[in-house]
Each structure stands twice: as structure tokens, then as C-alpha cells.
Structure 1
Amino acid sequence: MQKQSALFLSGNETEIEDIGGGLKRQMLGYNEELMMVKVFFDKGAEGYVHAHRHSQVTYVIEGEFHFSINGEVKVMKPGDSCLIPPHADHGAVCPTGGILIDTFSPPREDFLEE
């Protein structure tokens, strides 16, 4: 894993990776302790239920998300956020299309593997 991103990243120049299923991801910065990622959802796209060892905070930039954490479902809209504890089952469906900002601690190593 790379230890750190560049100190300054331009949103217009930073790669947006197509991760399939109507989802795209843009790395916004990371080091060995923290990572921020912008996630783009096409209309109807789903971030399937999964769990990982990382603490995660998610912030909704645009769109409507039906977010599930450990079986509890909430509708989240712009300005809303949620905390996902380590190992919690979570996922989201985006009926409108939208954008999330995800932060992880520690960073998601699997996002940096090539």
C-alpha cells in the first residue's frame, strides 16, 4: 500500500475509477491513518451489504440513499451522515443517483491495491 497521497489533489485531475455496478470512486486523500473517498452512484445503483474492519463515516452530497446498518434502514438525503462501526453489515441503494463522501480509519488497503 502506498503510504500517502499527494498533499494537494485537484478534483478535475484526480482519476475517477469505474468499480462496476453503476458505481465510481475518486480518492480524495489518504495516509496510514485516514482515507477520504468520493463515491458516485448511478440511478438505481447499489452498494451491496458488506462489512470491514474499518471505522467509516459517510456524508451525502447529493441524491437519496436507502442506507442499511446492521439491518436498520434509513433514508438519507444531502447533508445527512452516518457512522458505521468496524465489522457492521452495511450497504446502500440509490434510487435517484447521487454522491457520497466516505471516510475510513484506518485506510481501506483494498482500494489502493493494483
Structure 2
Amino acid sequence: MQKESAHFSFGNETEIEDIGGGLKRQMLGYNDELMAVKIWFEKGAIGYNHAHRHSQVTYVVEGEFHFNIDGVTKILRAGDSCYMPPHADHGATCPTGGILIDTFSPPREDFLGE
């Protein structure tokens, strides 16, 4: 599996993967230290609570998201962001439909098929 993405990524040329449950994912760029991913949520879609070893910062591009991080829920809208430390239990619901940019360090190996 490739350990580094191309230097440039064009939205209309980069694969958008349907990951089920009203969610789609597009890889934006990565190497062995960092990964950025665009995620589309359909109206009412749920990113179920989970935890992983990666640090994560999420930026809300559009829509309204109800984020739960370690039992605390906040409503985030376009321009807002949140940080999930390693092993924090987290998830989000999207009552409006929306778009997120997720960044991970180190990269999510499972997103690369590793």
C-alpha cells in the first residue's frame, strides 16, 4: 500500500468511497505522520461512537453536527472544530446533512486498507 499520497489532490478526480450508513469519504492527503479526509453525512446520518489510537481534529465545513466526546455532547456548525485525543470515545450525528474535514495523526491505517 502506498505510504504517501500525491502532492496535489483534485476533488473532481479523487475517488469518493461510499462507506455506508449515509456516509461518504474522500482521501485528501497523507503520509506516515498525518492524514486528512473529507466526510459527507446525509441528513440524519450517524458516525457511531468509537475510539482509536489516533489524535483527531475535525473541522465542520457545512451542516450541524452533534458531537459526543467522552460523554460530553456539543452542537457544532460550519466553522467550528473539535479535538479527540487518542483513545477518546467519540461520535457524531448530523440532523441536517453536512461535510467534515477529519485530520488524523498518525494516519488511519484502516482507511488505507492496512
TM, length-normalised to structure 2:
0.98
Q: Does 1:86 align with 2:86?
A: yes
Name the CA distance, whole Å, in 2 between partners of 1:82 and 1:76.
8
Name the CA distance, whole Å, in 2 between partners of 1:27 and 1:113.
12
What's the % identity of the aligned pairs?
A: 79
Matched with 2:74 is 74
Count of residues in correspondence between the two structures: 114
Name the CA distance, whole Å, in 2 between partners of 1:2 and 1:51.
25
Name the CA distance, whole Å, in 1 between partners of 2:8 and 2:76.
30
Offset at residue 2 of structure 1 (A): 2.0
CA deviation profile, 1:3-30 (whole Å, cap 9, x unmatched): 1001111011000000000000000000
Unpaired segments ≥5 residues, structure 2? none
Q: Give the superposed CA RMSD.
A: 0.8
Unpaired segments ≥5 residues, structure 1? none
Q: Superposed, which structure 2 residues align to 1:1-114 within 5 Å?
A: 1-113=1-113
- SS of the residue corresponding to residue 29 of structure 2 reads strand
Counterpart residue identity of residue 87, structure 2: H
- SS of the residue corresponding to residue 14 of structure 1 reads coil
Name segments (4+ residues, structure 1) moved above 6 Å. none
- SS of the residue corresponding to residue 111 of structure 1 reads helix
Name the CA distance, whole Å, in 2 between partners of 1:110 and 1:2.
13
